Amino acid sequence: MKTLTIDFVSDVVCPWCAVGLGGLETALDRVRADGIDAQIRFQPFELNPGMAPEGENITEHIGRKYGSTPEQSAANRAMIHDRAAEAWAGAPGGPFEMAMGPDSRIWNTFDAHRLLHWAGTLGPAEQKALKTALLRTHFSDNRSLADPVVLADAAEAA
């Protein structure tokens, strides 16, 4: 079996990264029958390194950062919800629920990336399990990735 190494550079609060991971997992599941396997290494990228620990309302953040109106932000969230459901439908670990709403928050992810780095020292399977748990913690459960207790819960869930 041929093994590919894929470096997946992303932030755990990036919704398009969550969609992309679901699509990648689905594609990799399809090519395994052809004798191709992959090892995914998750690399950190902080979208908002200056984000305060208390985070920011997602609608306000997107409006400030990209100039989106609340209506545009709601339409984007609906599109991301649908794309995530589609991408994760056939993926190992799916389905995936994007439960972002107008009052959801975006968080500082520095400590989440440190935790992912630690999980990578345990092995690629452990790191992938934690990455998925962190995505679910943020996007499905709307919990703070800046909270050490929440990060410990995600690590335990992985």
Residues 120-124, mean pLDDT to the nearest whole number: 96
User: What tens digit of pLDDT does each residue of 47-78 get?
Assistant: 999 999 899 999 999 999 999 999 999 999 99
Backbone φ and ψ of 48, nearest 5° = -135, 70
Q: Which pLDDT does position 47 carry in this prediction?
A: 94
Q: Which pLDDT does position 53 carry in this prediction?
A: 84
Q: Are 131 and 21 in contact (CB under 8 A)?
A: yes
Q: Which pLDDT does position 140 carry in this prediction?
A: 94
Domain boundaries, the chain: 2-157
Mean pLDDT across the chain, nearest whole number? 94
Model confidence at 6: pLDDT above 90: yes
Q: What is the C-alpha separation between 102 and 40, in angstroms, rounded?
A: 32
Q: Which pLDDT does position 138 carry in this prediction?
A: 96
Residues 23-32, mean pLDDT to the nearest whole number: 91
Model confidence at 93: pLDDT above 90: no
Q: Which pLDDT does position 94 carry in this prediction?
A: 75
Q: Model pTM?
A: 0.93
Model confidence at 95: pLDDT above 90: no
CB atoms closer than 10 angstroms to residue 69: 11
Q: Which residues contact 51 (CB under 8 A, 6 or more apart)?
A: 106, 107, 108, 109, 146
The SS3 of residue 104 is coil
Q: Which pLDDT does position 157 carry in this prediction?
A: 94
Q: 2-157 — its CATH code?
A: 3.40.30.10
Q: Is residue 85 packed enough to be buried (19+ CB in 10 Å), middle (13-18) or exposed (0-12)?
A: middle
Strand partners, 37: 3
Model confidence at 128: pLDDT above 80: yes
Backbone φ and ψ of 109, nearest 5° = -115, 15
Q: Which pLDDT does position 104 carry in this prediction?
A: 94
